[in-house]
Amino acid sequence: MRTFIIDLTERTLATYAVTFLGLLLADNFDLTSIGALKAAAVAALPAALSVLKGAAAKRVGDPSSAALLVRGRD
């Protein structure tokens, strides 16, 4: 369970960071038009979806990973 939580946390934080930086880059770092708080709020949506995907993946794939990989045979 601990491995799954660490994996899901890493994926969620990475999704948030990439989305937030992507929004800032798309706006040419003009923080006055979109606002850093709005960008942070919008970036939280894909991060939340990442958590839901990870929860669904636990049922499909390896229970110790947040990946949607089919469980392999040991």
Mean residue pLDDT across the chain:
82
Cα angle for residues 9, 10, 14 (degrees, 5° grid): 115
Q: Residue 12 falls within a domain, yes or no?
A: yes
Q: Supply the pTM of this predicted model.
A: 0.74
Q: Residue 11 falls within a domain, yes or no?
A: yes
Cβ(62)–Cβ(1) below 8 Å: no
Amino acid in position 63: P
From residue 37, alpha-carbon distances to 12, 25, 44 in Å are: 18, 15, 11
Six-digit token string for 26: 């798309």
Q: Residue 73 falls within a domain, yes or no?
A: no
Cα angle for residues 10, 14, 20 (degrees, 5° grid): 150
pLDDT for the residue 45: 92
| Range of the structural domain that residue 45 is part of | 2-59
Total structural domains in the chain?
1
Q: Residue 18 falls within a domain, yes or no?
A: yes
Considering only residues 39 and 14, tell me which one the structure prediction assigns the higher pLDDT. 14
pLDDT for the residue 31: 58
pLDDT for the residue 9: 92
pLDDT at 37 over 80: no
Q: Residue 22 falls within a domain, yes or no?
A: yes
